[in-house]
Amino acid sequence: MANHKSALKRIKQNEKKTARNKHVRSTLRTFIKNVREAVATKDTATAQKALEAAIPVIDSAASKGVIHRSNASRNVSRLTKLVNTLG
C-alpha cells in the first residue's frame, strides 16, 4: 500500500476512473452488439434504430477518452456499412 498522501489520492482517482471507463466501455459494447444482432435478424428498421442509438454512445466514449477517436470513427463506419447492406 502507498505511504504518501499524494499516492493514496492517486489510487483513489485511478479507481474512480477505472470504474467509469469500465461502465462506458461495457455500455458501448452492448450498443454495438445490438446493431449487429439487428442486422443478423435482417430487420432493417430495428437495425437503423439501433445504429442511431449507438452512434452517440460511440462518440461519447471517444470524447471521454475511453476509446481513441479513430477507433470510434472506424466503428461508426463499419456499423453503417453493415446496416446499409440490408438495403
pTM recorded for the entire structure: 0.87
In a domain, 87, yes or no: yes
In a domain, 24, yes or no: no
What pLDDT digit, counting tens, does each position of 17-60 carry? 999 999 999 999 999 999 999 999 999 999 999 999 999 999 99
In a domain, 28, yes or no: no
Q: Per the structure, how many domains does the chain have?
A: 1
Longest dimension (CA), the chain: 61
In a domain, 79, yes or no: yes
Q: Confidence class of residue 11 from pLDDT cuts 50, 70 and 90?
A: very high
User: Residue 81's domain spans which residues?
Assistant: 42-87
In a domain, 20, yes or no: no
* Matching residue, cell 474512480: 16
What pLDDT digit, counting tens, does each position of 72-83 carry? 999 999 999 999
In a domain, 82, yes or no: yes
Residues in contact with 60: Cβ distance below 8 Å, sequence separation at least 6, in sequence order = 24
Cα pseudo-dihedral 21, 22, 27, 30, rounded to 10: 140
Measured in whole angstroms, how far is the alpha carbon of residue 70 from the centre of its chain?
A: 13
In a domain, 14, yes or no: no
In a domain, 59, yes or no: yes
Helical ranges in the chain per DSSP H: 5-40, 44-63, 69-84
